[in-house]
Structure 1
Amino acid sequence: MSYDLSLLGWTAFRAAELPEGTVPARVSRVDRGAAEVIAADGQHQARYTARVRRAAAADPVALPCVGDWVALTWLPEGRYELDAVLPRTTAFVRGGVSRTSVGGLSGDGQGQVLAANVDVVFVAEPSMHATDFADLGRIERLVALAWESGGTPVVLITKSDLFESGLDQLLDDVRGTAPGVTVHAVSSLLGDGVRLVRDHLEGSRTAVILGPSGAGKSTLVNALADDTVMETQQVRAADGRGRHTTVHRELIPLPGGGLVIDTPGIRRIGLYDMGEGVDLVFSDIEELAERCRFGDCGHNGEPGCAVLAALERGELPERRLESWRKLQREAAWMASRTDARLRKEQQNKWKVTTKEMRRSGRSRP
């Protein structure tokens, strides 16, 4: 089977980045040491070259991921080898953050790319759970990461057919959680809102769907594809939680154009190299902060703080301010861990250079 790569997002801009003597392909799935790719002459499994493995060992962000455009070389034994990852236009990266008993956060300052070259980030949240404050916080976190990736976030309140009343109020609450972001109510089983989602994928645009297990991500992919391309399971009746149906990330071309990346359910996702994304999600707090008496106001009791004044007047929910503080702390923590890792890498490089210079009889400059 042959493919028109332009329908997968291949452009003249990307072609200019392709190394001489190689052919382009897009990664549809990754396995350990190899990737399933879609090239013009069909689908293949391509193992990584030593150069790709060394780059990934030095920085996990360089590891090929779903959505990447890559350069393939043809080997005499009749198979392709993945020789290089082409520059990414966007990348959805999560940090290596986990819970600890001290300080609540830890991390190695390294990131993992969940999806690359994505135009739209669908943040899926099931309607029967979205009234919970923790779930609003999850929407804020994922939308912040979506902005930071370079893609456009769109929040999908899924399984809207199960929400008995107050759906409009729920959508308004979510819009307040993600200022300026499009929010849709979707019932994949009934088809409600699916056309609105499909409209975000015109042409060769690529979307990734993120959200917890049980959010209906795979069911939505099937509705978009008008076919059963992903396995689905029911939410557990005992606790309302979803089972992990999707166990890997996969790029799926849709009939009529557009591509979508389905992902496993996300329980916790750490920030990585975060800055503007948090500011965009909390633009209401940023606007209030501009009216504070002091430019370096931390909104922790300083006189003339416009943020705390809005909190006292009931104009700013306390939950939202606490969520902002939490993400600010986490972003600062990850930045410090990243800086420490980079300093360590530079020190190690200097030690290696010094040893080599001593062996060759040269002295330091």
Structure 2
Amino acid sequence: MTLIAILVGVVLALATLIDAFEVVLLPRPVRRRLRLNRYFFKCTWAAWVWCADLWPSGRRREDFIGVFGPLSMVMLFALWAASLIVGFGLMQWGLQGLVPDSGSVGLVDQIIVSGDAFFTLGYGDNVPHHSLARLLVIVEAGTGFGFIALTIGYLPVLYQHFTRRDLQLIEFSARAGTPPTAAALLGWHMHGTSAALERWLRDWEIWASDLVESQAVYPMLAFYRSQHEGHSWLGSLAVVLDVCTLLIAGADDMRRLQATATFCALRRVLDEASESLRVAPARPVSTRLLDPEALRLLTPTIRRILPDWRDDEPALEAIRRLRRTYEPRLEGLAAYLLLQLPEWINPEVAAGERFGRDAVVQELTDHHPD
């Protein structure tokens, strides 16, 4: 029994330390399926979604879902600490049966003593009599001290990546509207030049490259809701992908280069997020359909930016093929994270076929009536 207790304690402590090392310190993605934090997020997110489904749709439900990201990190740190304390407590309890004259302390009391050593409280209610047990206390105290230090240093890095991800959405919301649409985004740029649109897409290529790194190393960032109401990192990514799809399908070779680069970078974000969260692509894809009527409304706006843009049958077929490369993963992530994907065209704006200045005026007056 003592050997089993020691073995379980060693496995529990080592598994926790490896998991904490991979999450906090390792600057690369970990593809191994058997990970403590992976099962933690899978179980806690499933429970959180179940509770969220009890709420009616609206702001309160969204606020409840938005709490999960930060709270899950606190719960993960608490799980790591509890696992280490129990693991070292089992090792101390098991050593009593192997080392003569080492005293007889119950398992619960040994776990309490282990917590005392882990947080370096120094009560000294139970002092080990054997040198091996004392060495184990020293190791646990050093582990606890390092664990607390790494936890304090980890959270600012995590929030730095979250801020860099969300900062791009401030500028995006002004151009794409609330809720964002590809039509509103194109309408914003139709009075400018195609070069200005290409520079803007270049900024989003850089944003996507940064997000690939963040999503690979910090997959829990996907659970962090945006601080801007009506927007999300996944919805913004969807709108820019939609715009790139239109430009690639109907523009000439010289005008599609930047759109192609941005499209590839954004699609890689979807691949990385789906892989890190183990989310399967949605089958079949049924939402956000771009019908011919919607494309007819978009065509004049696009041609104000790119006069040679085509809407012939080859271009339509190219749009369908390109969408099949990202829509399944996009909708799979949206369903998993309980995020709503934006439409191609705002129905209220499309009813009057207003884009560009009129759409912007309506957007501003709707959200700022005073």
Same fold (TM > 0.5):
no
Structure with bigger RCO (C-alpha 8 Å, 6+ apart): 2
- TM-score, normalised to structure 1, is 0.26
Q: Which has the larger radius of gyration?
A: 2
| Higher strand proportion | 1
| Higher helix proportion | 2
- TM-score, normalised to structure 2, is 0.26
